[in-house]
């Protein structure tokens, strides 16, 4: 138990100090403050039909910002740098005084905004996702080339669903703590993944299931998931089987074995490695360790949160339509029991009854 917790601490520490290293398969250049495209700061010619126009530009008086009122010769701007913008957008001085500042915004608001008009909303010089990914090439690769993509990056405000492009009080320019971001968006009943499978309403699930798995209780969804895209099922940081049955191979469970001892499943007989045993017969081995149809951990465990101890689930989605197979697990004074599920009622004994030694 102690060594497992130690592993968790190590994993969390690694994530805290080097999230970039874990999130990105390849080392790419750091973001530069330079765009790959030429930023056009002039008003769009009427032929290009700007969809959005800045209120002071719309007013028609160029001298609101330039030294001259004449649209043909507005001349230079009257105030240098971001101070021109702050003269009306006062609140942005506070935003830019936050603990974490976005370097391109400190440098110049014009890295991202056209001061006159634009085809893009919020006067952006390019479509929001393209704009961010133009400087953040590593994230661009994750978002576009990963096998499993995360819808959070494509819908709504895209990157700005989670990041403030100007400044923030949370590191990585996050608008909320990561756990709150995840749970607040995953808080609807009808969210579907790319294959049309309905996803869990995590806000509700975590409220209704009080036994939280340690990394969830530590509010660290990233201990297991990659936010921007990944190579594994469900954006997981390491391999985990996608189905109810899978042939047993420890590498398919790299996710769990990153923190738990593989011997929980690989050793047929034990008195110490697992409590899911009947006497010395390792029932993890019996259920999971099969060359063809081994049951995956999800057959019994709900990895986020459950009502039962040991993260035993009440029911498990079985078959392609997700029909729920009830588990009916009960913890008993000497072990546990499953009733009318995959098999008739079966119990296991892993400790002596009060006052006597274990029978098996
Ligand atoms: C809200 C402030 C604002 C208003 C109003 C405004 N401009 Fe500008 N304009 C700027 C800023 C900021 C720049 C970039 C200045 C720089 O970095 O040299 C600029 C640059 C320009 C440029 C040069 C672009 C380039 O490529 O260097 C032109 C042309 C221009 N403005 C035309 C106009 C005209 C015409 C009007 C009035 C119809 C106008 N502007 C009104 C803020 C404004
Ligand atoms: C003379 C005052 C004034 C100046 C100077 C000014 N703005 Fe604005 N800006 C406005 C007003 C007014 C609005 C509309 C506010 C609203 O709708 O709430 C606005 C809106 C915006 C918006 C939102 C547009 C949208 O579609 O929602 C952006 C982005 C913006 N300004 C950026 C800038 C930047 C960058 C500068 C400096 C180059 C700047 N502004 C300078 C007055 C100004
Ligand atoms: C790295 C790109 C980037 C830079 C640099 C940048 N912005 Fe923005 N800004 C954005 C994006 C993206 C949005 C839209 C955010 C959203 O949709 O939630 C935005 C939105 C805004 C808005 C509209 C806010 C609203 O609530 O509608 C204003 C005003 C604004 N920016 C002003 C500024 C000022 C002032 C600066 C310079 C201090 C600046 N921006 C620098 C990317 C940038
Ligand atoms: C003009 C280039 C440029 C653009 C556009 C840009 N960024 Fe950045 N961004 C940077 C630079 C430079 C840094 C400093 C850290 C670095 O080098 O990676 C940075 C840092 C960040 C960080 C913090 C990284 C850290 O390790 O703390 C985040 C998050 C971020 N940007 C998100 C965005 C988002 C979201 C957008 C689009 C709204 C965006 N960026 C657009 C250049 C850019
Ligand atoms: C669902 C929320 C979410 C969305 C959407 C999102 N990010 Fe992030 N981003 C995070 C979190 C959380 C981190 C902190 C490290 C981590 O967990 O990966 C982060 C970290 C970063 C970093 C710092 C480098 C790193 O890997 O730690 C950059 C740069 C960044 N994001 C850019 C972007 C860009 C660009 C987009 C849009 C293409 C985007 N993010 C969309 C949540 C998000
Ligand atoms: C802005 C809303 C939003 C935020 C914030 C958000 N997600 Fe998502 N997430 C989605 C949507 C929409 C989908 C479904 C589309 C898809 O498959 O990606 C999804 C899908 C997923 C999936 C399943 C992906 C698959 O295809 O198998 C996982 C896992 C996930 N999110 C985890 C997270 C984690 C962890 C966080 C916090 C770091 C988070 N999400 C934050 C909107 C969000
Ligand atoms: C200990 C590792 C672990 C942690 C921590 C974790 N997850 Fe998961 N997550 C998984 C595994 C494993 C799956 C696949 C479950 C399955 O298919 O049986 C999954 C699946 C998901 C899915 C897609 C399936 C669904 O039902 O919606 C979402 C969304 C998700 N997790 C969000 C989160 C959020 C939000 C957090 C933080 C509150 C989080 N996860 C924390 C391991 C983890
Ligand atoms: C980031 C580390 C981490 C990952 C990954 C992880 N766990 Fe855990 N898990 C823990 C910690 C820490 C505990 C609490 C201490 C303990 O019992 O080992 C725990 C406890 C458990 C328990 C309950 C122990 C009890 O008796 O109450 C089960 C069951 C469990 N994990 C299953 C899994 C499964 C299945 C996976 C893979 C899908 C997994 N874990 C992945 C860290 C992790
Ligand atoms: C057939 C159901 C079943 C399957 C499949 C299953 N477990 Fe368990 N597991 C249990 C039960 C029941 C317990 C609680 C034992 C007790 O304490 O009485 C448990 C306990 C645990 C514990 C707590 C420590 C221990 O071993 O007592 C961990 C960690 C764990 N399981 C991990 C896993 C992992 C990882 C997988 C997949 C590789 C898995 N389990 C598959 C039923 C299952």
Over the stretch 78-126, which tens digit does the pLDDT of each residue have?
A: 999 999 999 999 999 999 999 999 999 999 999 999 999 999 999 999 9
User: Please, which residues have CB within 8 angstroms of residue 100's CB and are 6 or more apart in sequence?
Assistant: 167, 168, 169, 170, 171, 172, 173
Ligand 5 centroid to Cα of residue 14, in Å, is 17
299 Cβ closer than 6 Å to some ligand 9 atom: yes
Band (186; pLDDT cuts 50, 70, 90): very high
82 Cβ closer than 6 Å to some ligand 3 atom: yes
Sign of CA dihedral 262, 293, 337, 348: negative
Nearest CA to ligand 3 atom 14: 122
Asked whether the whole model's pTM tops 0.75, one would answer: yes
Digit-coded pLDDT (tens) for 17-27: 333 333 333 34
Digit-coded pLDDT (tens) for 328-352: 999 999 999 999 888 899 999 999 8
Mutation probe of ligand 3 site: the residue of 112, 115, 132 with most atoms within 8 A of C-beta? 112
Name the phi and psi angles at 107, rounded to 5.
-65, -55
Name the phi and psi angles at 123, rounded to 5.
55, 25
pLDDT the model gives residue 29: 52
Rounded mean pLDDT, 8-16: 38
Ligand 6 centroid to Cα of residue 139, in Å, is 16
Band (31; pLDDT cuts 50, 70, 90): confident
Ligand 8 centroid to Cα of residue 312, in Å, is 12
- The owner of tokens 């609101």 is 64
pLDDT the model gives residue 355: 67
213 Cβ closer than 6 Å to some ligand 7 atom: yes
Least confident of 216-220, 294-298, 301-305, 337-341: 337-341
Distance, in Å, from the CA atom of 40 to the CA atom of 245, rounded to the nearest integer, reads: 56
Sign of CA dihedral 341, 342, 345, 351: negative
Q: What ligand 6 atom has the least distance to the C-alpha of 179?
A: 37
Mutation probe of ligand 9 site: the residue of 280, 289, 310 with most atoms within 8 A of C-beta? 310
pLDDT the model gives residue 124: 97
pLDDT the model gives residue 190: 95
Per the prediction, the chain carries an average pLDDT of 90
295 Cβ closer than 6 Å to some ligand 7 atom: no
């Amino acid at each position: 138990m102690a060594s497992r917790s130690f592993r968790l601490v190590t994993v969390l520490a690694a994530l805290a100090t080097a999230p970039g290293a874990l999130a990105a398969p390849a080392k790419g250049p750091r973001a530069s403050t330079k765009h790959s495209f030429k930023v056009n700061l002039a008003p769009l010619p009427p032929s290009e039909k700007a969809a959005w126009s800045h209120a002071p530009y719309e007013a028609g008086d160029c001298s609101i910002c330039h030294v001259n009122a004449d649209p043909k010769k507005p001349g230079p701007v009257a105030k240098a740098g971001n101070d021109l913008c702050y003269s009306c957008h006062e609140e942005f001085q506070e935003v830019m005084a936050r603990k974490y500042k976005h370097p391109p915004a400190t440098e110049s608001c014009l890295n991202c905004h056209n001061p006159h008009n634009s085809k893009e909303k919020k006067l952006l010089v390019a479509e929001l996702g393209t704009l961010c990914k133009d400087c953040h090439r590593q994230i661009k690769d994750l978002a576009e080339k990963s096998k499993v993509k995360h819808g959070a990056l494509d819908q709504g405000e895209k990157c700005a669903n989670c990041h403030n492009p100007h400044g923030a009080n949370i590191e990585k320019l996050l608008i909320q703590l990561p756990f709150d971001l995840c749970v607040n968006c995953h808080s609807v009943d009808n969210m579907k993944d790319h294959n049309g499978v309905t996803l869990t309403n995590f806000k509700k699930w975590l409220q209704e299931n009080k036994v939280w798995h340690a990394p969830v209780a530590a509010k660290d969804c990233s201990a297991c998931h990659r936010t921007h895209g990944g190579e594994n099922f469900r954006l997981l940081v390491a391999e985990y089987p996608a189905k109810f049955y899978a042939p047993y191979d420890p590498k398919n469970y790299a996710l769990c074995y990153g923190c738990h001892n593989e011997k929980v499943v690989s050793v047929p007989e034990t008195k110490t490695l697992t409590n899911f045993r009947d006497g010395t017969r390792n029932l993890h081995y019996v259920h999971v360790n099969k060359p063809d149809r081994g049951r995956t951990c999800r057959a019994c465990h709900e990895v986020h949160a459950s009502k039962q101890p040991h993260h035993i689930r009440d029911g498990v989605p079985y078959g392609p339509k997700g029909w729920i197979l009830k588990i009916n697990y009960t913890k008993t004074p000497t072990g546990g029991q499953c009733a009318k599920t995959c098999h008739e009622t079966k119990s296991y004994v892993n400790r002596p009854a009060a006052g006597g030694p274990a029978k098996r």
